[in-house]
Structures are given as C-alpha cells and as structure tokens.
Amino acid sequence: MAPRTFNHSHSVKEGWKDSIPSVGPRPYPDYGVYFSPQALTKEHRNKLEAFVGDPGEISFRKATQYMYLPFLMREVNCRAAVLDIAYRQNAHGAVLAVRGDVELFRRAKRGKGALPKNPHLFSTS
C-alpha cells in the first residue's frame, strides 16, 4: 500500500473569523495548520462544501473561508502566568476544531462508532 500524503496549509496569527465560538471571542492562534480547499480533491471539496457554507458564512467546520478542518494549534507565551492563558486559548480552539469534526460526522448521518479513534487535533503551548 502506498503511503498517504496530506496537503495542508498553515497560518500565523490569523483569527478564525468564520468559526462559531463556544464561549467568548473566536480563536486567534499564534500558529495553525489546516486543510485548505485547494488541498482537497475536487470530489472531496464538493462533498464538504455543502457542510462548510458559503464564503463569509460562519460554520462549525471552518476557521476562515480558506481554513477547513483545523488540526494543529500553537499558542506562544513565555511567563508562567501568561502560559495559563495560552492553555485556555488552546483548549477553546481545540473544542471548536473537534466540535467541527463531530458535527461533520453527525450531518453525514454516520453512526456513533464511525468517528475515528485516533487523535483529531494537536495543540501546544
């Protein structure tokens, strides 16, 4: 079996203006990795676009119109007191990213056991 390759993109200090926050402001990670629409095959993009909404429309499954399914976030702070803030910021972004995955499976009418058991997201502070 040939190894799978993933085409992904990254952002630096870009706010998730198209995401639906769980509480407070939308995430604004120092660094993020996600799938861009161009990284997906045309078939996958067509299937996913029904779930992510139009450009500028807020969604559970995208951070911005160019950032689909974010899966890595990093917050950088150097003092212990500020590090607690970075942990909370990462936790908030993680909730939104995983919620997007769960909502995608729910909308696709997949069973409870269909969500993969492997990690969906990584975050570092």
Query: Which of helix, strand or coil describes residue 10?
Result: strand
Average pLDDT over residues 78-107: 77
pLDDT band at 25 (very low <50, low <70, confident <90, very high): confident
The residue among 7, 34, 23 whose CA lies nearest residue 120 is 34
Q: State the average pLDDT over residues 86-105.
A: 78
Question: What percent of the chain is predicted at pLDDT more than 90?
Answer: 0
106's tokens: 């729910």
| Residue 55, token pair as written in the block | 């450009």
Which letter does DSSP use for residue 39 in this model? G
pLDDT in tens, 34-69: 878 777 788 887 877 777 777 778 877 778 877 877
Among 14-18, 20-24, 111-115, the range scoring the smallest mean pLDDT is 111-115
d(CA 71, CA 101): 10
What would the pLDDT profile of 62-92 be if each residue is shown by its tens digit?
A: 788 778 777 778 887 777 777 777 787 878 8
- Provide the residue ranges of all domains of the chain, joining segments of one domain with +: 9-110+118-124
What pTM, to 2 d.p., does this model score?
Answer: 0.68
Which helix (H) or strand (E) segment is 105 a member of? helix 80-107
